[in-house]
Amino acid sequence: MTLEQEKISLNSKTEHLQSNMESLNIEKEKIEEQLHSILREREQFLLENQNLSTTTCQLKNRLTEIETKTNCIMVEKEKIETLLRMNENKTHDLEKERQYYTLQTKELLQNLKEVNEQKELTESELREQVMARIGAEKQLQAAEKALEHLEMALKMTGAQMTELQEHIMPDVHKLREYFEQCAQEAQLEANRAGIMRQAIYARK
């Protein structure tokens, strides 16, 4: 039986007990009226009607029974009211618990959504960064080959180009050093991108 069904059942019992108690109270009032009437008649007609004593005793006994039943009904009613209050408190607690878990579920779903969005954004940025590094490495490799060809051409030039070599070769060496430095930085960035990729896969 659910809490709501139990509540309905207890309410029905309470109404039934209340109805019985009202009926008994009505009967009690009637009996009390009869008893008073009989007592008055008894005082007047005691000598004429000896059976009134027996009737009075019966009515008194019945009145005692009614009072006893009334007390029992009151006790039962208090018990039912206590159960109803407990039922309402339990319903309230269950509703609070349901709201709490509903809120927790929404927060977890929102956190999961944010994590997925962040992961997708990080992976997209990482792919773009890797592609940019690959393009830079290709450009550096092409520049290095061009420098090598230029150095070889300068070295193969005759003695009449000695003065020209003295002016050009230092610039060529500076360019080589610059491109080598760029290549090292590109390699470091590529390594860093690899570390980020591993971290993302680890989170999966």
Cβ burial of 172 (10 Å; 0-12, 13-18, 19+) is middle
List, for residues 144-166, the tens digit of each pLDDT value.
776 676 667 666 655 445 555 56
Domain with 71 in it: what CATH number? 1.10.287
Task: Please give the torsion angle defined by the CA atoms of residues 168, 173, 176 and 181, in that order, rounded to the nearest 10 degrees.
Answer: -140
Co-location of 68 and 164 in the same domain: no
Last residue of one domain, picked from the residues 93, 112, 131: 112
Task: State the total domains in the chain.
Answer: 2
Which of 88, 112, 136 is the endpoint of a domain? 112
- Residue 204: pLDDT band (50, 70, 90) is low
Instruction: Specify whether 108 is located in the same domain as 119.
Output: no
Q: What percent of the chain has pLDDT over 90?
A: 0
Does the pLDDT value for residue 24 go beyond 50? yes
Q: Is a pLDDT exceeding 70 seen at residue 44?
A: yes
Q: Could you tell me if 166 and 196 lie in one domain?
A: yes
Same domain, 104 and 43: yes
For residues 159 and 140, give the distance between their C-alpha atoms in angstroms, rounded to a whole number: 31
Poorest-pLDDT segment among 54-68, 128-142, 169-183: 169-183
Kindly state the average pLDDT of the residues 107-112: 78
Same domain, 70 and 19: yes
pLDDT tens profile 48-59: 666 666 777 888
Domain containing residue 36: 3-112
Q: Are residues 41 and 102 in the same domain?
A: yes
Tell me, yes or no, whether 87 and 183 share the same domain: no
How many residues appear in the chain?
204
pTM of the model: 0.37
Q: What is the pLDDT of residue 176?
A: 67
Domain match, 98 and 149 both: no
What is the amino acid identity at position 110?
A: Q
Q: What's the whole-number average pLDDT of the chain?
A: 74
Is the pLDDT higher at 47 or at 6? Answer: 6
| Same structural domain, 133 and 164 | yes
Long-range contacts formed by 159-168: CB under 8 A, 24+ apart: none
Q: How far is residue 204's CA from residue 202's CA, in Å, rounded to a whole number?
A: 5
Residues 107 and 121 in one domain: no
Nearest-angstrom CA–CA distance, 54 and 57: 5
Distance CA 89, CA 83 (A): 10
**Same domain membership, residue 8 and residue 96:** yes
Could you tell me if 50 and 132 lie in one domain?
A: no
| pLDDT for 148 | 72
Please give the pLDDT value at position 159: 44
Model pLDDT, residue 4: 77
